[in-house]
Structures are given as C-alpha cells and as structure tokens.
Amino acid sequence: MWAVRAAPVGTPTLWAVLATGVLSMLLLDGGLAVNLLLVAVPASLAAYFAGRDAGRRTRAWSLVWGVGGIGLLVVPALRDADWPSFLAVVTAIGLGSLALNGGRTWPAVLLGPIGVVNSVITGVSWGWRGLRERFGGARRGVGVGLRAFVVSALLLLVFGALFAGADAAFADLLSDLVPDASVAGGPWCVVLLAAGLVVALAVAHTAAAPVRLDRVVVRPGRARNRVEWALPLIVLIVLFAAFNVVQLVVLFGGYDAVLEKTDLSYAEYARQGFWQLLFVTLLTLLVVGFALRWAPRDGAGDRKLVRSVLGTLCALTLVVVASAVRRMDMYVEAYGLTRLRISVLAGELWLGLVIVLIMAAGVWGARWLPRAVAASAAAGVLAFGLMSPDGLIAERNVQRYEDTHKFDILYARDLSADAVPALDRLKEPARSCVLRSIADELGEDDAPWYATSWGEARARDILRDHPPAVSVDEEVCNSLTEVPEYR
C-alpha cells in the first residue's frame, strides 16, 4: 500500500507550492469566500505537476474528482451561511483525496484522506530536499534564495508605498487588492503562509506517491446456509410489506380516518413517523451490507436468490423513503421549515438514491458502486449548497406566513444573509425586526472583495436600498415575540 516512492520535486511544483502559501497569507485572513477557490487553484497545479513528474497519467475519474472538488468550493463564494459551506469544504477534501490517490474499492473511497494526512510530514521533508537541490544542496545557496526573496519583498513594499502616496487612484487599487499587513496581524500571516505551504506540499507529495488503498483486501464473510441467510430477510420483507400496505391505505383513504382513530393531530402524526422511518432506512442499508457479506455463493441459484431477496427488500425500502419524505412535508406544513428539517430531508432523499444504486448494482455488477455512491454524495452536497438552504427556508416560511399568518420571528432572526431576499417580503414591523438582526450580524462593509460571498453582497444591496424602519426598535421586536402569530 505504501510501496510508491515520490519522484524528486520539480521546479513547477515548487513555484505552485509557493504561490499557494503566498495566496493563503494574503487572502485567507478575512474569512472564506472566493479566496478559498483562488488558493485551491495553485495547490491543484502543484498536484498536477508532481503527478506528471512521477509519471502518473491523468485518468478520467481523477479529473471527475478534481473538478468536483474545485466546484464544491464555489459554495462558500456564493453562500453566506456557514453550515452548507462547511459541508461543501469537507466534501471537497474527500474528493481531493480521491483525485490524488485514485481507487475504485470501498477502502479507497472511504480511507482516501489517510494518504494526504500522512503526507503532511513527509511532504515537508520532500519539498525541503527539492529546494536544497535547486541551490546545489548547500546552505549558502538556500541563504541566497532567502535573501533574494526578502530583498524583492522590501522593494515591492517601499516602491509600492511611494506610488500609493503619489496617486490616490493607485492607492485605492492597492487597498482593494492587498490586505492590511499590520504588525499585530504579522504572526497570523506567518501562520497562514506556513499552513498554505504545508498543505500544498502534502497535496503534491500525495500526487507523486499515492497510497494504493485498492490493495487493501476485505475478505468476504463465511457463506451461510440458504435458510440461515434468507429466512430472517424474508420475515423482514413481510414486515415491510405490511407497513407499506398501511401507508398506501392511508395515502388513498385520507388522513382524517387515521387521525380520528389514533387521536393524533396532523402535526403529531407527521412528527411521530419521520425519525423512525429515517432510522429504518439507515438500518436497512446496514442489513443489506451484512447480508451481502454472508450471502451464499455456490452457484447461479444462490446468486438469483440474493438478487431476488435483497432486490425486494430494497424496493420496499423505497416506499418507506417516500413515506418519510411525505411525513416531513406534513411536518413542515404544520411547523415551518428549519435547517435541521431540510438537512435530514436531503439526507433521506440521498439514502433513497443509494438504495436505487444498490439495486442497479445487483443487475449490472457492483464494481462501479463505491465511486457512484461517492459521486452522488458530492453532487448532493453541491446541489444543497447551490440551492441556498437558508434562502429556501426563508422562502418557504414567508409563503407559509402569507397562507396561514404564522411565522417564527425568533428563528428567522438567526438566519444568514442568504435569507434576506425572501425576508424582505414580510410586512412591517416583522420585516424590520428580522432584517435588523441580520444587518447587525453583517456589521460594517469592510471585508475585502475576495472574502465577501455573493449572498452577503446581495443582502447588503437590499438593506442599503430598503433599510429597516427606524421606528421599529428592539422593544417593538420583543413585543412581537409574545404574539402567537409570530411564535
């Protein structure tokens, strides 16, 4: 697994690593937006150059993972909300590890980041050896390079300051492009520079010496007797079928009769069922995994039995997924949309897609399944971020307010700037109460362009054109929270 040795680091790789470190120092101090994407570009080039020097061919799936990882970094550039951006960044790291290490098996897909973590240490020493080789391996040569870098920086600083003092337009241009390098922020800039260099070296070293996780062998479990394997699953299938029949009866017979019989309200019926059905979906995937591990494998009859039993169980599970989605829709109608509800609903839909992929693997083979599941997860995270969850929450809840005159004003005040376009439709004084809270959270417009998301910029434009009413103060807002209509 660790047999591949890294080729000597090339000059283009070192320049790309240096560019990553410098951009990290200059751009990552004011928050995460398009700056994260700008820093990722030279880091990706460092990986490409290192892989090319090591003789690695760029495969189609590596391009898919690499482009997908870069695409996920668009989410922080577009959305002000932290939670979808965090999910997108974490998923981008996972796709990046797949692009660097490759692999098509479950160990390779799930354990890919191990190679990048290991390269955090080995990559630094690898880069240092390459740097010394560029200067003849002598300390004197390294000192010459460092002195040249310091002199260049001093020349840029001195002449840049003089030109800025000579022309106001040039000074404004510099202030927009170059962050404030104050003495107090100096140590933090050094930390960002070092972090950028270390991460870029780790990425490049992984591309030059990937971990071959496909060589990890997961031995199948001991095949079980047909009765021992199939009987518990058939019993479970009967239980699923009975539940699904009840769901169909409720669907076509209406909820009124069921609610009258169970003495539950509409909202209580929805809330009672969703979480249980979500766990049913998760446990079913676990059952399918163990069943495949211990499935009989003696001949064509055994393979047909496995496909029939597990295919039926997966098909019935899709009905459970549909029932869970319907219950969440009922829940949202009664109580409104929240971050937790939209997140678990998206997760349930993705689990349903995984079940469909498992059924397809039962027909066409499972060799492609790990990569397909990983690609579907990345596509789901990207779609989740692009649709602006906070904006969708605000849109749905404002529409609910227009239909039912019910609105949770306390929850709306905690949403991000992505929700401002929808919340701007509220009537006064609720509009000013909600938007004032978000405006206070945004603060002054002093963030540089590369650390400002599109959602934040759009919210500032709306708040500048239609600011919250001055007459609506905190006392008025606090009084609204006592009104049942806004709770």
How much is the pLDDT for 359? Answer: 92
* Cα(85)–Cα(102) distance, integer angstroms: 25
- Residue 263, both tokens: 């003495």
* pLDDT beyond 90 at 119: no
How much is the pLDDT for 256? Answer: 62
* pLDDT beyond 50 at 208: yes
How much is the pLDDT for 183? Answer: 41
- 474: Cβ–Cβ under 8 A, 6 or more apart, which residues? none
Residues 159-165 have a mean pLDDT of 76
How much is the pLDDT for 259? Answer: 61
More confident residue, 268 or 464: 464
Whole-number percent of the chain with pLDDT over 70: 87
397-441: pLDDT as tens digits: 999 888 888 888 989 999 999 999 999 999 888 899 999 989 988
Q: Are 334 and 266 in contact (CB under 8 A)?
A: yes
275-284: pLDDT as tens digits: 788 888 889 9
CB 157: neighbour CB atoms within 10 A? 11
* pLDDT beyond 90 at 70: yes
- Quote the longest CA-to-CA distance of the chain: 88
DSSP string, 361-412: HHHH-STTHHHHHHHHHHHHHHHHHHT-HHHHHHHHHHHHHHHHS---HHHH
Instruction: Give me the long-range contacts of 235-239 (CB less than 8 A, separation at least 24).
Output: 236/287, 236/313, 237/309, 237/312, 237/313, 237/316
Distance separating the N- and C-terminal Cα atoms of the chain: 57
Backbone region of residue 331 per phi and psi (left: phi > 0; alpha: psi in -120 to 50; beta: other values) = alpha
* Cα(80)–Cα(482) distance, integer angstroms: 29
* pLDDT beyond 80 at 137: no
